Amino acid sequence: MSSPLLTVLYDGGCPMCSREILHYQRIAGDRPIRWLDVTQEATDITPYGLTVEAALRSFHVIPVSGPMKAGASAFVTLWSALPYYRWLAKVILATGTLPWLEGIYVRFAAWHFKRRCATGTCGLPPSTEGP
């Protein structure tokens, strides 16, 4: 693969997350996107300055140029690179709804992390608390 346009960090241990990423991978075709499942031991995310816990708490996308994106902004960055989703990214950016979406995402991500990791199923100690 040529140098990736984007690097996507995702929770491959989460069935919902995995289904969504698989959908994106299918429509991405041959676009140079690097998909990294942060739950795999072989995946080294330290070059991105993240711990596995931080990567599980929020969706992250690293563009080839520019800063790392997290949360709703990461989704918009990914959608901007995908067919069928570019229009959605453009609408979100043009209408100024990203801050509103980020607020919703932050609440959902905190709930999802707490629910998924409360019993240690995410690979982190069960004592890890919410945000």
Name the residue with tokens 């990461």: 74
Q: What is the pLDDT of residues 52-106, one digit of tens each?
A: 899 999 999 999 988 999 999 999 999 999 999 999 999 999 999 999 999 999 9
Q: Rounded to two decimals, what is the model's pTM?
A: 0.88
Return the DSSP state at 64.
S
Alpha helix segments (H runs only) across the chain: 15-28, 52-57, 72-80, 86-95, 98-117
Return the DSSP state at 2.
-
The pLDDT, as a whole number, for residue 86 is 96
The pLDDT, as a whole number, for residue 122 is 76
How many C-beta neighbours within 10 Å does residue 18 have? 15
Confidence of residue 130 (pLDDT cuts 50, 70, 90): very low
Q: 16 or 122: whose pLDDT is higher? A: 16
Secondary structure (3-state) at 46: helix
